[in-house]
Amino acid sequence: MDIEKTQPLNPGDNKKDKKAESPTAKPAAPGSANLADTLPLNKAAGKAPSTAAKPAAPVAQEVADTLPLNKGAAPIPPAARKAAAEPKKAEPKAEPAPRIEPTLKPEPAASRPEAAPFKPETAADAWLGLLAARGIEYLFSNGGTDFAPVVEAYAKGQKLGWRLPQIVIVPHENMGVAMAHGYAMVTGKPQAMMVHVGVGTANAINGLINASRQNVPILFTAGRTPITEGGAASGGAALLGARNNYIHWAQEHFDQGGMMREFLKWDYELRHAEQVETVIDRALAIAKSEPQGPVYVTLPREILASDFANQKYSEVATIAPASPPAADPEALEEAAKLLGGAQHPLLITANGGRTAESSRAIEQLAQTLAVPVIHYRPRHLALSTEHPMHCGWDPHTLLKEADVVLVVDCDVPWIPKEGQPKPGAKVIHVGPDPLFARYPLRGFRTDIALTGAVAPTLQTLWRAAQKQAVSVKQIEERRRVVTTYSKNVRDKARSGLEPMPASITGKWLSACVNKLLDASTILVNEYPTVLEEMVIKEPGRYFGNPSAGGLGWGMGAALGAKLAAQDKTVICALGDGAYMFGNPTAVHYVSEAMRLPVLFVIANNARWAAVHRSTLSTYPAGFASKEKEPPFATLEPSPRFEHVVRASGGLGERVSEPAQLMPALEKALKYVKEEKRQAVLNVCLEASYVKTS
């Protein structure tokens, strides 16, 4: 059978010496237990000498006695040597040691201190306490030397029973940002993260670009190299928190926020303890105002350590987020006339299903006016994949005939090289930032741009358009045509499980994963899932990779989704390249430590298929097109990914035969659901460069 199974590594098994389990294993030489006692560092420690020498094999004893370090050791009597040489009776095999539970578990209620009034003495005390007071539940953290006042404040707060955000240790910054991203995309609530000065910020930039382009709110913070040199210039007393480590000079930036300002809504450096409340409230208000996005605050160590005892603060936020933008009534009326009079309207969206309200608004518009809907490179689904107005994943076929195109919260509604609206068509863009103003170049035709939150804008639009509609008969005829088209698209594109292919393809893997989904499953997809095979009927159950395409998002986002919705089953589908970018060791550590079981399904084609696909589209008959192993795109030999999860107590399996895939998926899912532990399925695919949804 061509399947490699790697059951969870039992931590207790590491402690066993396999030689000792054998009846014929030789005992250790005498003096070996005492050898360490003769070393200088151990003498200083005052380590007590061993009083019981371990028996050694008689043949080895005479040789051992001649070695210089062993000459002082007491010899073993002949009788003891003879007894040691005799074979030991086989002992019953010991049961596996119990699994070592993670240390990050909730503190028993009985051991928690009685809550004391929150009286912050330092800026760090105030920072942590006010984060919690403003609804920040989790602080994703990757610490450094700049954290000292925060560490002390957190320990104090725990001791005194203050309300604090829960710390989530993230061993890599990029996966930490992805985790905060995943939590916010499920709940709509921003969380906080803190990293180590500029170097930690640099490690997180990839994830912050993803969050920025997806309009995901995150309060991202970093320490700042201590400002002062510890009295070096004047010879005076050093400020608490001043530089005391050699790295504090090389790590300083002229402008720490400058490296990522292009992808942030706002950034600031805390300059005085008095500013703590204002900075937190302003940061969160800006992050949550439409269009939402990440903000950045740098925290110098001396400021965090400074006195706060005489400062006043509010129990509630002092700055509210801005109200959502509302579309201009005249522009709305013009758009409604166009939509109501359209013969062949078309709605294209990528982020329209971001909230339940926006999903409902799109469904109501599509259903009332019989408008076909295309989810193009979706990050969220607005309609059920089975809805009669859901017409697939590629806009270019319907785009050719559309006379009114409604682009809803979609940065790239079509690829100009593949097709564009016909000359007489009208194009209406809707969203909190319909022109995507922070994109340097974006030239899609725009006849009307309605700036407004998606749900209320579309609700107003379809009601007004209904009054402008030419006739009910026309809408019903269009509904019949679109419903037939929708069914034909699904039937043609969806293959299902039968017939079983000779080798595993990405499309067939997607069909198999689809069989695992139910109404309580969240699917986080970083590239490989072929959406034509999926049946997803409810909003909030599918999350696709960000439009910026920063790899390494999926695994952390899946953990964040699980943290946000712990009653849901989370499946993360990703490619082999994305798995490596995702910092899997860090991800699997957090999954175990925080008890966040996720099923990770790796579509492993040993390729960066997107790289070669791009080359083929540019040079279809070029030299690279004839290469069996395309330059810059080959990932061989493929790592044994299924082994990595074992270090964190998870289940890992490798599958290369189609007949083994469905049983392996079902077993892994059962393990995640019942054992409450993570699993990795490394699925070996045939190499393919076919463009998919």
- pLDDT-based confidence at 535, cuts 50/70/90? very high
Residue 649 CB contacts under 8 Å (≥ 6 apart), including other chains: 8, 9, 11, 99, 592, 677
Strands 426-431 and 404-408, by their bridges, are parallel
Say what the pLDDT of residue 609 is.
Answer: 75
- Tell me whether the CATH fold assigned to 112-228+242-305 matches the one assigned to 506-684: yes
First to last CA, the chain: 33
Say what the pLDDT of residue 527 is.
Answer: 86
> Is the predicted pLDDT of residue 587 greater than 50, yes or no?
yes
321: which 2 tokens?
């987020």
**Nearest-CA neighbor of 547 among 324, 362, 380?**
380
Q: What does pLDDT average to over the chain?
A: 86
Topology of domain 329-490 in CATH is Rossmann fold (3.40.50)
Amino acid (1-letter code) at residue 31 = G
Model pLDDT for residues 293-312, shown as the tens digit of each residue: 999 999 999 999 999 999 99
- pLDDT-based confidence at 447, cuts 50/70/90? very high
* DSSP symbols for 338-361: HHHT-SSEEEEESSTTSSHHHHHH
> Is the predicted pLDDT of residue 181 greater than 80, yes or no?
yes
- pLDDT-based confidence at 27, cuts 50/70/90? very low
Torsion of CA 431, 434, 439, 445, to 10 degrees: 140
Please say whether the beta carbons of 677 and 595 come within 8 A. Answer: no
- pLDDT-based confidence at 100, cuts 50/70/90? very low
Of 60-64, 125-129, 349-353, 648-652, minimum mean pLDDT range? 60-64
Of 56-60, 451-455, 635-639, minimum mean pLDDT range? 56-60
Say what the pLDDT of residue 61 is.
Answer: 40
156: which 2 tokens?
């104090």
Say what the pLDDT of residue 374 is.
Answer: 98
Say what the pLDDT of residue 287 is.
Answer: 98
Model pLDDT for residues 337-364, shown as the tens digit of each residue: 999 999 999 999 999 999 999 999 999 9
DSSP assigned state of 673: I
> Is the predicted pLDDT of residue 692 greater than 90, yes or no?
no
Say what the pLDDT of residue 114 is.
Answer: 67
Higher pLDDT, 540 or 34: 540
Instruction: Round to whole Å and give the CA distance between 22 and 91.
Output: 9
> Is the predicted pLDDT of residue 567 greater than 50, yes or no?
yes
- pLDDT-based confidence at 690, cuts 50/70/90? low
**Nearest-CA neighbor of 305 among 266, 349, 272?**
272
Say what the pLDDT of residue 21 is.
Answer: 39
**Nearest-CA neighbor of 219 among 277, 174, 285?**
285
The CATH homologous superfamily for domain 506-684 is: Thiamin diphosphate (ThDP)-binding fold, Pyr/PP domains (3.40.50.970)
Instruction: Round to whole Å and give the CA distance between 231 and 245.
Output: 14
Q: Percent of the chain beyond pLDDT 90?
A: 74
- pLDDT-based confidence at 231, cuts 50/70/90? confident
Residue 374 CB contacts under 8 Å (≥ 6 apart), including other chains: 346, 347, 348, 349, 391, 392, 393, 394, 395, 398
Torsion of CA 115, 120, 122, 126, to 10 degrees: 100
In 227-355, where does DSSP find H-type helix? 247-250, 276-288, 301-305, 329-340
> Is the predicted pLDDT of residue 511 greater than 50, yes or no?
yes
* Per-residue b or e along 272-285, where b marks 16 or more CB atoms closer than 10 Å to that residue's CB: ebebbbebbbbbbb
- pLDDT-based confidence at 232, cuts 50/70/90? low
> Is the predicted pLDDT of residue 67 greater than 50, yes or no?
no
- pLDDT-based confidence at 19, cuts 50/70/90? very low
Instruction: Round to whole Å and give the CA distance between 408 and 345.
Output: 13
Identify any residues that bridge with 544 across adjacent strands, giving them in sequence order: 525
Say what the pLDDT of residue 429 is.
Answer: 98
- pLDDT-based confidence at 56, cuts 50/70/90? very low
Say what the pLDDT of residue 112 is.
Answer: 55
Of 64-73, 217-226, 538-547, minimum mean pLDDT range? 64-73
In 515-618, where does DSSP find H-type helix? 554-564, 576-581, 584-593, 609-618
Report if pTM > 0.85: no
The CATH homologous superfamily for domain 112-228+242-305 is: Thiamin diphosphate (ThDP)-binding fold, Pyr/PP domains (3.40.50.970)
Domains of the chain, residue spans: 28-85, 112-228+242-305, 329-490, 506-684
Say what the pLDDT of residue 30 is.
Answer: 38
Identify any residues that bridge with 299 across adjacent strands, giving them in sequence order: 223
Question: In angstroms, how far is CA 363 from the centroid of its own chain?
Answer: 29
Instruction: Round to whole Å and give the CA distance between 591 and 675.
Output: 13
> Is the predicted pLDDT of residue 693 greater than 90, yes or no?
no
Say what the pLDDT of residue 230 is.
Answer: 84
Compute the average pLDDT of residues 51-67: 39
> Is the predicted pLDDT of residue 23 greater than 50, yes or no?
no
Say what the pLDDT of residue 88 is.
Answer: 47
